[in-house]
Structure 1
Amino acid sequence: MKRNKRDILERLNAGEVIVGDGGMVLQLERRGYVKAGPWTPEAAVEHPEAVRQLHREFLRAGADVLQTFTFYCSEDKLELSGNVTNITGAQINEAACDLAREVADEGNALVAGCVSQTLIYLENHNEAEVKSLFKKQLQEFLKKDIDFFIAEFFRYAEEAAWAVEVLKTSGKTVGATMCISPHGDVNGLPPGECAVRLVKAGADIVGVNCHLDPTSCIQTVKLMREGLEKAGLKAHLMIQPLGCHTPECNLTGYISLPEYPFAMECRTLTRWDVHKYAREAYEAGIRYIGGCCGFEAYHIRAISEELRAEKGCLPPASEKHGLWGEALQMHTKPWVRARAQRKYWQDLLPASGRPKCPSMATPADE
Structure 2
Amino acid sequence: MKRTLEQRLQDGPVICGEGYLFELERRGYLQAGSFVPEVALDNPQALKQTYRDYMNAGSDVVLAFTYNAHREKMRIIGKEELLEPLNRQAIRLAKEVAQENPVEEALVAGNISNTNLFDPEDESSKQAVRTMFAEMISWCKEEGVDFVNGETFYYYEEAQIALEEVLKQDLPAVITLGVMGENKMRDGYEVEEACRLLQEQGALVVGMNCFRGPATMQPYVEKIREACDGYVAALPVPYRTSEEHPTFFNLPDGGCACHLPTETTFPTSLDPLYCNRYEIASWAKDALATGVNYFGLCCGASPSMLREVAETVGREAINSKYSPDMEKHFLFGSDDSLKKHNQTYRVKA
Q: Which residue of 1 aligns with 2:320?
A: 318
Partner of residue 28, structure 1: 24
Q: Which residue is equivalent to 2:330?
A: 332
Distance in 2 between residues matched to 1:111 and 1:216, nearest whole Å = 29
CA distance in 2, matches of 1:267, 1:222: 24
Instruction: Describe the SS at the equivalent of 1:255.
Output: coil
Cα deviation 1:100-131 (Å, max 9, x = unaligned)? 11111111111111101123313934332221
The structure-2 alpha-carbon separation of the partners of 1:150 and 1:272, relative to structure 1 and needing over 3 Å to count, comes to same
Paired letter, 1:331:
H
CA RMSD of aligned residues (A): 2.0
Give me the identity figure in percent: 27
1:338 Cα offset (Å) = 6.4
Partner of residue 135, structure 2: 136
What's the counterpart of residue 238 of structure 1? Answer: 233
Instruction: Give yes or no for contact 1:68–1:114 (8 Å, CA) kept in 2.
Output: yes
* Aligned partner letter, 2:37: P
- CA–CA distance in 2 between the matches of 1:101 and 1:47? 17
Corresponding position of 1:207: 207
Distance 1:212 1:266 in 2: 16
Are positions 1:79 and 2:78 aligned together?
no
Alignment match, 1:103: 97
For residue 176 of structure 1, what is the aligned residue in structure 2?
A: 175
Q: Specify the alignment match of 2:341 in structure 1.
A: none
Partner amino acid for 2:326? L
User: Paired residue for 1:265?
Assistant: 271
Distance 2:214 2:86 in 1: 30
1:248-287, aligned counterparts within 5 Å?
248=243, 253-257=247-251, 258-287=264-293
1:44 aligns with 2:40: yes
SS of the counterpart of 2:47?
A: helix
Give the 4+ runs in structure 1 shifted more than 4 A: 248-251
Distance in 2 (alpha carbons) for counterparts of 1:25 and 1:221: 23
Q: 1:214 to 1:87 in 2, by over 3 A?
A: farther
- Find out whether 1:293 has 2:299 as its counterpart: yes
Q: Kindly tell me: are residues 280 and 45 of structure 1, through their superposed partners in 2, closer, same or farther at Cα, counting changes over 3 Å?
A: same
Residue identity in the other structure for 2:178: C
Distance 1:287 1:99 in 2: 26
Deviation, structure 1 residue 87: 4.8
Deviation at 1:170, TM superposition (A): 1.7
Residue segments in structure 2 that go unaligned for 5+ positions in a row: 252-263, 336-349
CA contact (8 A) 2:177 2:208 kept: yes
Question: What residue is the counterpart of 1:345 in the other structure?
Answer: none
Which whole-Å CA distance do the structure 2 matches of 1:318 and 1:225 have between them? 29
How far 1:248 sits from its partner (Å)?
A: 4.8
- Count how many residue pairs are aligned between Structure 1 and Structure 2: 317
Partner of 1:61: 57
What amino acid is the match of 2:110? G
Query: Separation in 2 of the partners of 1:259 and 1:5?
Result: 42
| Distance in 2 between residues matched to 1:260 and 1:338, nearest whole Å | 41
Query: CA 1:98–1:330 in 2, change beyond 3 Å: closer, same or farther?
Result: same
- Which runs of 5 or more structure 1 residues have no equivalent in the other structure? 229-233, 340-366
Task: Identify the residue that residue 152 of structure 2 maps to in structure 1.
Answer: 153
* SS of residue paired to 2:17: coil
In 1, Cα distance between equivalents of 2:243 and 2:193: 24
1:121 and 2:138 are equivalent in the alignment: no
